[in-house]
């Protein structure tokens, strides 16, 4: 069994994971349904949002330049990084310039993608996660299992034990309000002291040079307000053309992610502290990361991948994700969008199995707020994995095996030769009592299907259905 299958298997067999995820996903699905009760309005909103994102992608190079111009004019420093190594280097350089040994972080999937924490820690810089979910899993050195709720795989007893272990002076409690209050106290100190704060970006508005952030806790505002230096990291695809496009995106993002109508805070940052202002960072840096996105951009079908606004609705509705959680995917972003995005970034040779981890049931595509055709893209990547002439996706063709190719050639041989097909099925019906009881993985948990006594072709002919 490969590492991947072992990971999946372990998750399937873990009753805690199964229970935690089922409970969490059911809740998120139900809340979303209530929030989007008017299905007609929802469909209009999805179309509008898909249009906004598609148009932004179409104009991406111009919008990036416009964003940069306006940010610079506002006093925000703009950095570009093609690779993760470059991006980490830029953050390190900023930290070193300020002789900063500590970085306090709001939630940022891009920083996970960068492996930023490990990179900085190896160079003597402490990275502190301030988002409660990220804070909890950082205490036990685990990666997030969901892009919106990183500690979704932990129940309160597990969290209580973690707190007690890491903060022995604080009395043990499983009460969620108390746990939250404790975290508030611990992190308040850190916000107060930290020399540099880091955040992600939900939307970067080109028109005004504004970085927009959604959050409920306030840690994002803390990281972007109190420390004297703020670094915002984002993928290049997060640009939006105009402020007027923000309300529909917000209206579709938040309920898709958590079922709320809006998050507690919507934070719009356009410049560092101006003369006369009493607070705010003195320096604001925007780091634009490529890491394969500009290559994905070049494929007219796969470019839809870049519309993603990271809401998590697809994984909330995925019947596979709910049963294994995020970790078995082994990627920064799990679930359906992860299975489409990550193989394109890291290669089908490494992650080609992910697009097959789906029944193509379509639940994901149905809820995607920006109408990414996820089942279609999953199918496309399956093709990319096994095609004979490699395409543009890294690792294209890496999953093609001679045996499989032969099997499908045989299959198409039989099914494109009607007389031969009828002969084979007639044989199967006549020999049906010889059907093996064991048919590989299928019959481990199911009875073996047995051919009928007569095929439909035969019966149709007998009953006069086969000619005009």
Partner 1 sequence: MTGNRDYPQRPAKVYFFGTCLIDLFYPEAGIAGMQLIRREGVEVIFPQNQTCCGQPAWNSGYREEALEVAWRQIQCFPKAYPIVVPSGSCAGMMRCHYPELFGAHSQQKKALEFAERVFELTEFLVHVLQIELKDLGEPLRVALHTSCSARREMAVSEEHKTLLRQLQRVELVEPERTEECCGFGGTFSVKHPDVSLAMVKDKADAISRSGAERLVSGDCGCLMNINGHMARRGDGIPNQHIASFLWERTRRPDDE
Partner 2 sequence: MSNARTTILSRLTSTRPDLPQEQPVQSEQEIPAWDLDQRIEKFSSRLRSVRADVIVAEHEIWPEKLATLARQRGFENLLYAPHGPLGGQIEKAWGDNPSLPRLISHQKEIEAWKEELFFQIDAAITSTRAGIAETGSLVLWPTVDEPRSYSLVPPVHIAVLDAKDLYASFAELIKIEGWRRGLPSNALLISGPSKTADIEQTLAYGVHGPIELIVFLLR
Q: Which residues bind partner 1 (CB under 8 A)?
A: 5, 8-9, 12, 319-320, 323-324, 356-363, 365-366, 376, 379, 382-388, 399, 404-405, 408-409, 411-412, 414-416, 418, 421-422, 425, 428-429, 440-442, 444-452, 454-461, 463, 465-468
Least Cβ distance, residue 154 to partner 1 (angstroms) = 21
CB atoms near residue 308 (< 10 Å): 23
Among residues 136, 229, 233, 314, the one that binds partner 2 under rule CB under 8 A: 136
Among residues 242, 409, 415, 417, the one that binds partner 2 under rule CB under 8 A: 242
310 vs 323 by CB, closer to partner 1? 323
Q: By CB under 8 A, tell whether 181 contacts partner 2.
A: yes
Ordered DSSP codes for 39-100: HHHHHHHHHHHHHHHHHHHHTHHHHHHHHHHHHHHHTEEEEEESSHHHHHHHHHHHHHHTT-
Q: By CB under 8 A, tell whether 61 contacts partner 2.
A: yes
Q: Can you tell me the distance from the alpha carbon of 334 to that of 355, in angstroms, rounded to the nearest whole number?
A: 11
Residues 6+ apart with CB under 8 A from 386: 397, 399, 400, 401, 404, 405
Choose one: 180-188, 340-348, 353-361, 374-382; the region binding partner 2 (CB under 8 A).
180-188
Among residues 156, 409, 430, 450, the one that binds partner 2 under rule CB under 8 A: 156
Q: Can you tell me the distance from the alpha carbon of 406 to that of 102, in angstroms, rounded to the nearest whole number?
A: 57
Binders in 380-419 for partner 2, by CB under 8 A: none
User: 444 contacts which partner out of partner 2, partner 1, none, CB within 5 to 8 A by kind?
Assistant: partner 1
Q: Can you tell me the distance from the alpha carbon of 15 to that of 247, in angstroms, rounded to the nearest whole number?
A: 41
Choose one: 3-11, 148-156, 413-421, 442-450; the region binding partner 2 (CB under 8 A).
148-156
Query: Pattern 327-346, binding to partner 2, x per CB under 8 A?
Result: --------------------
Which neighbouring-strand residues pair with 205?
210, 240
User: 457 contacts which partner out of partner 2, partner 1, none, CB within 5 to 8 A by kind?
Assistant: partner 1
Backbone angles phi, psi at 78, to 5 degrees: -115, 130
Least Cβ distance, residue 358 to partner 1 (angstroms) = 7
194 vs 320 by CB, closer to partner 2? 194
Q: By CB under 8 A, tell whether 94 contacts partner 2.
A: no
Q: By CB under 8 A, tell whether 210 contacts partner 2.
A: yes
Least Cβ distance, residue 345 to partner 1 (angstroms) = 19
The DSSP element (H or E) to which 136 belongs, if any, is: helix 132-139
With vertex at residue 205, the alpha carbon angle to CA 230 and CA 150, rounded to the nearest 5 degrees, is 60
CB atoms near residue 22 (< 10 Å): 12
Q: By CB under 8 A, tell whether 133 contacts partner 2.
A: yes
Q: Can you tell me the distance from the alpha carbon of 78 to that of 75, in angstroms, rounded to the nearest whole number?
A: 9
Least Cβ distance, residue 426 to partner 2 (angstroms) = 47
Q: By CB under 8 A, tell whether 372 contacts partner 2.
A: no
Q: Can you tell me the distance from the alpha carbon of 118 to that of 123, in angstroms, rounded to the nearest whole number?
A: 9
168 vs 465 by CB, closer to partner 1? 465
CB atoms near residue 264 (< 10 Å): 11
Least Cβ distance, residue 417 to partner 1 (angstroms) = 8
Least Cβ distance, residue 153 to partner 1 (angstroms) = 16
- Residue for token pair 């093709």: 383
The DSSP element (H or E) to which 288 belongs, if any, is: strand 283-289
Of the chain, the end-to-end C-alpha distance in Å amounts to 54
69 vs 404 by CB, closer to partner 1? 404
User: 358 contacts which partner out of partner 2, partner 1, none, CB within 5 to 8 A by kind?
Assistant: partner 1
Q: By CB under 8 A, tell whether 177 contacts partner 2.
A: yes
Query: Pattern 275-314, binding to partner 2, x per CB under 8 A?
Result: -xxxxx-------x-x---xx-xxxx--x-----------
Ordered DSSP codes for 179-247: HHHHHHHHHHHHHHH-SEEEE--SEEETTTTEEEEEESSSHHHHHHHSSSEEEEEEEGGGEES-GGGHH
Binders in 12-31 for partner 2, by CB under 8 A: 20, 23-24, 27-28
CB half-sphere exposure, 122, CA atoms < 13 A = 7
178 vs 458 by CB, closer to partner 2? 178
């Amino acid at each position: 069994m490969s590492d991947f299958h072992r990971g999946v298997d372990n998750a399937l067999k873990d009753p805690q994971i199964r229970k935690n995820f089922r409970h969490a996903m059911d809740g998120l699905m139900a809340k979303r349904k209530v929030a989007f009760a008017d299905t007609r309005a929802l469909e209009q909103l999805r179309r509008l949002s898909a249009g906004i994102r598609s148009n932004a992608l179409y104009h991406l190079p111009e919008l990036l330049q416009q964003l940069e111009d306006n940010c610079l004019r506002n006093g925000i420093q703009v950095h570009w990084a093609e690779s993760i190594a470059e991006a980490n280097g830029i953050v390190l350089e900023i930290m070193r310039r300020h002789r900063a040994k500590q970085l306090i972080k709001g939630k940022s999937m891009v920083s996970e993608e960068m492996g930023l924490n490990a990179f900085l820690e190896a160079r003597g810089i402490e990275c502190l996660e301030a988002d409660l979910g990220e804070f909890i899993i950082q205490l036990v050195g685990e990666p997030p299992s969901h892009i919106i709720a990183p500690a979704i795989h932990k129940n309160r007893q597990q969290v209580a034990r973690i707190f007690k272990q890491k903060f022995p002076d604080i009395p043990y409690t499983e009460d969620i309000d108390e746990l939250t209050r404790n975290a508030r106290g611990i992190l308040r100190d850190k916000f107060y002291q930290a020399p540099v704060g880091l955040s992600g970006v939900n939307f970067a508005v080109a028109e005004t040079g504004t970085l927009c952030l959604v959050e409920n806790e306030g840690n994002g505002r803390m990281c972007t307000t109190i420390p004297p230096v703020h670094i915002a990291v984002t993928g290049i695809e997060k640009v939006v053309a105009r402020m007027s496009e923000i309300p529909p995106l917000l209206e579709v993002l938040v309920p898709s992610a958590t079922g709320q109508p809006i998050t507690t805070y919507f934070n719009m940052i356009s410049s560092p502290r101006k003369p006369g202002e009493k607070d705010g960072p003195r320096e604001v840096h925007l780091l634009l990361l490529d890491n394969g996105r500009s290559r994905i951009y070049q494929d007219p079908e796969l470019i839809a991948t870049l519309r993603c606004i990271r809401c998590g609705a697809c994984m909330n509705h995925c019947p596979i994700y709910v049963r294994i959680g995020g970790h078995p995917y082994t990627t920064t972003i799990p679930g359906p969008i992860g299975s489409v995005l990550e193989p394109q970034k890291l290669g089908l040779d490494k992650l080609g199995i992910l697009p097959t981890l789906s029944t193509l049931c379509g639940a994901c595509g149905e809820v995607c707020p920006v109408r990414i055709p996820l089942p279609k893209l999953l199918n496309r990547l399956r093709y990319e994995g096994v095609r004979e002439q490699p395409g543009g996706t890294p690792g294209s063709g890496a999953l093609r095996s001679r045996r499989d190719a032969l099997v499908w050639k045989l299959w198409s041989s039989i099914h494109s030769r009607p007389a031969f097909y009828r002969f084979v099925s007639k044989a199967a019906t006549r020999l049906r009592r010889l059907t093996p009881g064991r048919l590989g993985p299928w019959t481990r948990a199911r009875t073996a299907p047995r051919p009928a006594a007569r095929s439909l072709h035969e019966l149709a002919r007998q009953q006069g259905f086969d000619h005009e």
